[in-house]
Amino acid sequence: MPVRDDLRALEGYHSPQVQVRVRLNTNESPFPPPVAWRDAFAEELSRVEWHRYPDRAASELRAGIAAMHGVRPEQVFVANGSNEVLQTVLLTFAGPGRTVATFEPTYQLHGHIARLTGATVAEGERAADFTLDMGEVRRVIRDASPTVTFLCSPNNPTGLEEPEANVRGVLSLAPGLLVVDEAYGQFASWSAMGLVDDELPMVVSRTFSKTWSMAGSRLGYLVGPEWLVAELDKVVLPYHLDAAKQIAGRLALTFVAEMDERVQLIVAERERLAAAMGSMPIDVVPSGANFILFRPRGRSGRAVWQGLLDRSVLIRDCSGWPRLADCLRVTVGTPQENDEFLTALSEVMQ
């Protein structure tokens, strides 16, 4: 049975897993959610009316997220992970005959999901230091007239924050919708969330997977103009957010202080890691996220990755990805995991 012609050339999304002692490859939180959250969740789960459909609008969850960001519930769209948020945006604004702009290297799924909707992807190039060149932004936007333009801040896999001037610059140049993916926004020094306005064609997406220690629950959202959220609500499948997920998210919002503590600890550990790695023969990309991209000097990235794996430390091997020759990405773990990583890394770099 032939699949769609345009899908045949596509590859799926891969994130290889192996059994290791220290797993620092997928940018999850190294800490489980608070025990009190687990208890409250279990308690509410026992009272779910499973024979009924869940609240289709996820009203309480939306209201909670809106309150946290100081926006109206009508400006919040919630979905199964921010990947489903992005998919819904692209189903609504991309599709056949339309173009989506990305600035590479960036999160692979932006281009991948865009292609799945049948859209063409215009790949702009970042500078050698992975920063965004506004001349290149102008060129891509002039040549491609994208209906959707992606930024990712902090950018995955580089870790770089997009300066506010760049976000404002792209917003003023882009003819269509600007999506700012802030999957790592809480670890950064600023957020584009404050720019969101009903009159501006811009959305900011977030996820519970990284900061909130809830990758297992698949929950993400965006904040954007009210009219746009209403369009997304038409496109997404009815009842896509199950009852358990709505409870999980709503309860998580009552543990903001605990999450902030985790973020502070991870940011402090990130700075400790970056400093230690900087004292080795390694080029470290400045990170505003919970991971660090680096390039060993005088050693192949692949060999360093294998050396770490031989010591049961798994990080992400980006060395074979386009534009990322010899680059590796390590997720910030617990202080003990980070120590083990640094010990293994200094052995491998000897």
Ligand X SMILES: *Cc1c(COP(=O)(O)O)cnc(C)c1O
Residue identified by tokens 């770099």 is 349
- Closest to ligand X by CB, 40 vs 113, is 113
Provide the minimum distance between the beta carbon of 121 and ligand X in the complex, in angstroms, as a whole number: 16
Provide the minimum distance between the beta carbon of 242 and ligand X in the complex, in angstroms, as a whole number: 15
Provide the minimum distance between the beta carbon of 11 and ligand X in the complex, in angstroms, as a whole number: 18
**Exposed / middle / buried, residue 215 (Cβ in 10 Å: 0-12, 13-18, 19+):** middle
Amino acid at 208: F
Query: Considering only 78-86, 122-130, 139-147, 254-262, which stretch makes contact with ligand X by CB under 6 A?
Result: 78-86
Residue in 82, 92, 213, 331 binding ligand X, rule: CB under 6 A? 82
Bridge partners, 292 (sequence order): 330
How would you list the strands of the sheet with 76-79, edge to edge?
A: 76-79, 220-223, 202-207, 177-181, 148-152, 99-104, 120-125
User: Does residue 87 touch ligand X according to CB under 6 A?
Assistant: no
User: Does residue 152 touch ligand X according to CB under 6 A?
Assistant: yes
103 C-beta neighbours (distance < 10 Å), count: 27
- Closest to ligand X by CB, 215 vs 309, is 215
User: Does residue 149 touch ligand X according to CB under 6 A?
Assistant: no
Q: Cα 295 vs. chain centroid, distance in angstroms?
A: 22
Q: Any idea what DSSP says for residue 14?
A: -
User: Does residue 147 touch ligand X according to CB under 6 A?
Assistant: no
Contacts of 50-58 with C-beta under 8 Å, sequence gap 24+, read: 50/243, 53/239, 54/239, 54/241, 54/242, 54/243, 54/246, 55/243, 55/246, 56/238, 56/239, 57/233, 58/241, 58/246, 58/249
User: Does residue 246 touch ligand X according to CB under 6 A?
Assistant: no
User: Does residue 186 touch ligand X according to CB under 6 A?
Assistant: no
Which residues make Cβ contacts (< 8 Å) with residue 48, sequence separation at least 6?
A: 243, 244, 247
User: Does residue 151 touch ligand X according to CB under 6 A?
Assistant: no
User: Does residue 102 touch ligand X according to CB under 6 A?
Assistant: no
User: Does residue 211 touch ligand X according to CB under 6 A?
Assistant: no
User: Does residue 207 touch ligand X according to CB under 6 A?
Assistant: yes
Residue in 181, 269, 326, 337 binding ligand X, rule: CB under 6 A? 181
Which residues make Cβ contacts (< 8 Å) with residue 71, sequence separation at least 6?
A: 196, 223
Provide the minimum distance between the beta carbon of 209 and ligand X in the complex, in angstroms, as a whole number: 3
- Closest to ligand X by CB, 98 vs 110, is 110
User: Does residue 183 touch ligand X according to CB under 6 A?
Assistant: yes
For ligand X (CB under 6 A), the number of binding residues is 13
User: Footprint of ligand X on this chain (CB under 6 A)?
Assistant: 27, 81-83, 107, 152, 156, 181, 183, 207, 209, 215, 220
